[in-house]
Structure 1
Amino acid sequence: MTPPLEVPGDAAPVKLIASDLDGTVLGDDFRFRPRTVEAIRAAQDEGLHVVFVTGRPMRWLDPLRDQLAHQGVVICSNGAVVYDLTADVVVESSLFPVSEAFAVMEEVAARHPGTLFAAETLDGVYTDHGWARTDRMEIGAPRVGPLRERLPAGTGLVKFLAKLDSADPQEYYRALTDLVAGRLSVTHSVAAAPLVEMGQRGLTKARTLEQYAAERGILPHEVMAFGDMPNDLEMLTWAGHGYAMASGHPAVARAVGRTAPPFAEDGVAQVIEALLHARRPGASRAGHSATTG
Structure 2
Amino acid sequence: MQFVFDLDGTICFKGKPISERLLCALEGLIEAGHEVVFASARPIRDMLPVVDQRFHQLLFIGGNGSLISQAGKRLPGEAFTAEQISKILELITAYQGTYLIDSEWDYAYTGASDHPILNNVDPLKLAKKVPVESLNTIVKILILSSVNMERLFAELAALELVVHQYSRENVLDLSPQNIHKWSALQKAGLQAKQFIAFGNDANDISMFQAALYSVRIGDHAELGPYATASIAVEGDYEGAIIEKIEQLSKAYAL
Q: TM-score range by the shorter chain?
A: 0.7 to 0.9
2:210 aligned with 1:238 = yes
1:148-163 correspondence runs (5 A): 150-151=133-134, 155-163=136-144
> In structure 1, the residue corresponding to 2:10 is in which secondary structure?
coil
Q: Which residue of 1 aligns with 2:163?
A: 186
Per-residue CA distance 1:251-276 (angstroms, 9 max, x = gap): 212x2142332354124322211123
Whether contact under 8 Å (1:98, 1:157) holds in the other structure is no
> In structure 1, the residue corresponding to 2:8 is in which secondary structure?
coil
**TM-score, normalised relative to structure 2:** 0.83
Per-residue CA distance 1:55-84 (angstroms, 9 max, x = gap): 111112122134x54422211111111113
**Shift in Å at residue 165 of structure 1?**
6.2
Q: Which residue of 1 aligns with 2:116?
A: 134
Partners of 2:105 and 2:169 lie apart in 1 by 25
Q: Where does structure 1 lack aligned partners over 5 or more consecutive residues?
A: 1-14, 282-293
**Shift in Å at residue 117 of structure 1?**
2.5
Q: Which residue of 1 aligns with 2:98?
A: 116
Whether contact under 8 Å (2:106, 2:130) holds in the other structure is no
> In structure 1, the residue corresponding to 2:222 is in which secondary structure?
helix
Relative to structure 1, the CA distance from residue 249 to residue 120 in structure 2 (aligned partners, 3 Å threshold; closer, same or farther) is: same
> In structure 2, the residue corresponding to 1:160 is in which secondary structure?
strand
Which residue type is aligned with residue 214 of structure 2?
G
**Shift in Å at residue 45 of structure 1?**
0.8
Q: Which residue of 1 aligns with 2:184?
A: 208
Q: Which residue of 1 aligns with 2:251?
A: 278
Relative to structure 1, the CA distance from residue 23 to residue 277 in structure 2 (aligned partners, 3 Å threshold; closer, same or farther) is: same
> In structure 2, the residue corresponding to 1:213 is in which secondary structure?
coil
**Shift in Å at residue 38 of structure 1?**
2.4
**TM-score, normalised relative to structure 1:** 0.73
Q: Where does structure 2 lack aligned partners over 5 or more consecutive residues?
A: none
**Shift in Å at residue 178 of structure 1?**
4.9
2:18 aligned with 1:45 = no
Q: Which residue of 1 aligns with 2:51?
A: 64
Which residue type is aligned with residue 184 of structure 1?
L
Relative to structure 1, the CA distance from residue 202 to residue 279 in structure 2 (aligned partners, 3 Å threshold; closer, same or farther) is: closer
> In structure 2, the residue corresponding to 1:206 is in which secondary structure?
helix
2:2 aligned with 1:16 = yes
**Shift in Å at residue 36 of structure 1?**
2.0
Whether contact under 8 Å (1:101, 1:160) holds in the other structure is no
Taking only aligned residues, the RMSD between alpha carbons, in angstroms, comes to 2.7
Partners of 1:103 and 1:268 lie apart in 2 by 42
Relative to structure 1, the CA distance from residue 203 to residue 279 in structure 2 (aligned partners, 3 Å threshold; closer, same or farther) is: closer
> In structure 1, the residue corresponding to 2:12 is in which secondary structure?
coil
Per-residue CA distance 1:149-171 (angstroms, 9 max, x = gap): x336xx3211122121676xxxx
Bigger Rg over Cα:
1
Q: Which residue of 2 aligns with 1:10?
A: none
Per-residue CA distance 1:237-293 (angstroms, 9 max, x = gap): 121212211x2423212x214233235412432221112333579xxxxxxxxxxxx
> In structure 2, the residue corresponding to 1:143 is in which secondary structure?
coil
Q: Which residue of 1 aligns with 2:90?
A: 106
Which residue type is aligned with residue 210 of structure 1?
Q
